[in-house]
A = this chain, B = another copy of it.
Amino acid sequence: MSAATVSTNLDVMSVRDGRIGHRQDMSITLYDLAGADPELRFSPYCWRTKFALAHKGLPVETIPWRFTDKSAIAFSGQDRVPVIRDDGRAVADSWTIAEYLEDQYPSPTLFGGPGGRAHARFINAWADSILMPAIARLIIRDLLDIVAPQDRDYFRQSREARFGMTLEQTQMRREERLPAFRDLLVPVRLVLRNQAWLGGPAPSYADFILAGTLMWPRCSSRFELLEVGDPVGAWQERLLDLYGGLGRSAKRAA
């Protein structure tokens, strides 16, 4: 049983009590990328959504999904996860889901107001366009060892087309490239000098964007991206403990 499922059971009552008549007595369903091991959940985008749901105290039931299960989420009108189903509504894309949750369940807030939402878009775009490709070049071959057997050909072909080289070449000499990767996190370190979270005194969706992004290498690889003593690591440790240890208890690749 995953941590997400456990928190579902704990949270159902409070949400039902708070929203009688507003939603059905049913938790939100999340299609969540899984590996060969169905408990290994490693999508950085699904993790952003899981932290956002946990922050809102919304119960969630996760359905393990594989890259080649396109038909299972065809109802969402597209073919990538995360996809949530909430009381009959389907919402896809982690950013769109975050906005949906904020509009539908305003408290506690994910964004801290309209400016927070607008500026979080930049942090989301930065994570997607700068961090994600850089992390991919450090762990992409490791992912092949955890994806479901039926996903392996798809995974290799689609990623090799994206990077224009084999998975093995993409990840090659990663130790030498670690310092450049760590330099990408300088803006985060500067922020953490002045506030405990990217969201300020409390975590916001900005924290979940970065945390979700870092759950990807954490769950799928044993290659350590952060240096011991990095303030980003200390921030990550604090985040892993939130929501009953949702992040910390997540299964990791052996």
Contacts and interface: CB of A to CB of B under 8 A. Distances in A.
Contacts of A129: 186-187, 190
Given A114-B113, A115-B112, A122 B200 contact: no
A123 interface: yes
B112 A123 contact: no
User: So how many copies of this chain end up in the complex?
Assistant: 2
Interface in A96-128: 109, 111-123, 125-126, 128
Interface string A229-242: 00000000000000
Interface residues of A, number: 32
B116 A118 contact: yes
A233 to B, nearest CB: 18
A185 to B, nearest CB: 10
A191 interface: yes
Given A129-B186, A129-B187, A198 B116 contact: no
Interface in A176-226: 186-188, 190-191, 194-195, 197-200, 204, 206
A187 B115 contact: no
A114 B200 contact: yes
A204 B118 contact: yes
B125 A187 contact: yes
A6 interface: no
Contact of A122 (B115, B117, B198): B198
Interface of A: 109, 111-123, 125-126, 128-130, 186-188, 190-191, 194-195, 197-200, 204, 206
